[in-house]
């Protein structure tokens, strides 16, 4: 279980908690920044209240367990990544490319995260309002697909 995080904490454990709070829409993807401030504290309190936990705004063992009960942390994908998960990402990106990469050609679904996939990811990130670095990390996985009613992570299956 990750260590307890609370107001004033920072780092990867905070980013993980923020991602797990973004999946059920207590935070937005762009709010996954690794800094535990008042917005994150409020999101934690709301989540805890919904789960019947003491709403103290602290992510300790019981809150971590509740967060991990519904979602897991997805892997990071970047240039050079390969495999079926990359292929599923490519398919989802193709499905919505008219929104964030109008005029671009479909990606070849080849399970290889190459330069064309990276370019499509950058377009998706820009459209989603998160850091446009071409790396599919926690912020990118949490971007809402709007009309689909799900996040990228759900659509890809992670």
Q: What is the pLDDT of residues 64-82, one digit of tens each?
A: 999 999 999 999 999 999 9
Asked if the model's pLDDT at residue 128 lies above 90, the reply is yes
Within this chain, do residues 56 and 96 fall inside the same structural domain, yes or no? no
Running DSSP on this structure, what letter comes out for residue 27?
Answer: S
Confidence check: pLDDT of 148 > 60? no
Range of the domain at 42: 12-70
Indicate whether this model's pTM tops 0.85. Answer: yes
DSSP sequence for 28-79: -GGG-SSB--HHHHHHHHHHHHHHTS---S-B-HHHHHHHHHH--PPPPB-T
pLDDT by residue (tens digit) across 16-53? 999 999 999 999 999 999 999 999 999 999 999 999 99
CATH, residue 150: 1.10.101
A 10 A CB-CB count for 71 gives: 19
Q: Is 140 helix (H, G, I), strand (E, B) or coil?
A: helix
Q: Is residue 79 part of a domain?
A: no
Q: Are residues 90 and 151 in the same domain?
A: yes
Domain count for the chain: 2
| Contact (CB, 8 A) for 64 and 1 | yes
| Same domain, residue pair 65 and 95 | no
60 and 89, same structural domain?
no
């Amino acid at each position: 279980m990750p260590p307890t995080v609370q107001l004033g904490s920072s780092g990867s454990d905070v980013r993980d908690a923020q991602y797990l709070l973004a999946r059920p829409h207590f935070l937005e993807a762009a709010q996954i920044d690794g800094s535990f401030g008042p917005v994150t504290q409020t999101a934690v309190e709301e989540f805890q209240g919904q789960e019947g936990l003491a709403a103290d705004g602290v992510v300790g063992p019981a809150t971590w367990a509740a967060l991990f009960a519904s979602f897991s942390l997805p892997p990071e994908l970047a240039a050079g990544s390969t495999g079926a998960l990359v292929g599923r990402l490519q398919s989802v990106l193709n499905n919505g490319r008219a929104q964030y990469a109008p005029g671009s050609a479909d990606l070849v679904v080849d399970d290889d995260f190459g330069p064309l996939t990276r370019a499509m990811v950058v377009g998706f990130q820009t459209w989603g309002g998160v850091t446009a670095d071409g790396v599919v990390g926690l912020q990118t996985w949490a971007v809402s697909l709007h009309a689909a009613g799900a996040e990228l992570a759900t659509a890809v299956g992670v």
